[in-house]
Amino acid sequence: MSKWGSIILVLLAAALGGCGGVKPTPGMSGVVVTLIAEPKTGVVQDATSIDYSALDPGVSSGPTGRMEKIDYANLGDIIVWLEPESKSTEIPPSAPLKIDPSAPIVGVQPVSVGQILLIRNTRAIFSPYVVADGDEFVLNSAPPSEAAAVTVRNPGLIEILTDPKRPPIAVLYAVPSPWVARGHSGETITFSNIRPGRYKACVCHPRLPGSIVELLLIADKVSPITLRVSVNNLAVPR
């Protein structure tokens, strides 16, 4: 079978029956992604635990140390995005993300490479710094009530801190695409008004391997796909 032999092609009317009212603008496409988190094959769900250190050496998770029970049915912080295959595909810019230290972001926030982060100064002494995959730098300080700006440079996890003795005010996950969202197991995520063409639909989780599905988006059609995060995907690139 050729590379694109497994591409998912779905007709809106025949296969989706309207897909719950999802309808792209004429000439554009849509994708409805179902997110699934799966325990290791053969392991009983209620007894499932994962050794985080096997995936990320040095990580300790909670009071149980290296081992922590995972509720796959309610797993959150799953990041899903679409990546165009063609570099000529027009990619819309992402709006700046405002971050307020007085109201830390809960969970892992998806962002795009090239997106601007605006970190508001809420105190007199303010020196936020960023720890990211391949990057670690201090931002320029900002006057009180104003914001320090930084541009997301690389894909991967990003932590923003204002005090090394305190937890990050934001944990972000950057991807090379503006079509990105956060969800939880069993949820459906909709991307609408996407230009037709070949894409990769990608999913990841901070502590579990993700997966990738290649698809061809056709004008005026909506494609339903399923993406999984699971230790069964260890052979799949994150």
Tens of pLDDT along the chain (238 residues) come to 444 433 333 333 333 334 545 688 899 999 999 999 988 775 655 544 444 434 443 333 444 444 556 788 889 999 999 999 988 888 888 999 999 888 888 899 999 999 999 888 776 566 777 888 767 766 766 777 788 888 888 899 999 888 778 889 899 999 999 999 999 999 999 999 999 999 999 999 987 888 999 999 999 999 999 999 987 766 544 4
Contact 218, 30 (CB under 8 A): no
Contact 203, 35 (CB under 8 A): yes
Q: What is the CA radius of gyration of the chain?
A: 20
Contact 205, 78 (CB under 8 A): yes
- Give residue 124's pLDDT: 59
Instruction: Read off the pLDDT of residues 118-139 as tens digits, 9 standing for 90 and up.
Output: 888 776 566 777 888 767 766 7
Query: Could you tell me the pTM of the whole model?
Result: 0.75
- Give residue for tokens 């230290």: 101
**Distance in angstroms (rounded) separating the CA atoms of residues 185 and 172:** 19
In 3-state terms, what secondary structure has residue 72?
A: helix
In order of their start, the domains of the chain are 3-90+179-233 (2.60.40.10), 97-175 (2.60.40.420)
**Distance in angstroms (rounded) separating the CA atoms of residues 115 and 236:** 27
Which residue type sits at 197? G
Contact 211, 125 (CB under 8 A): no
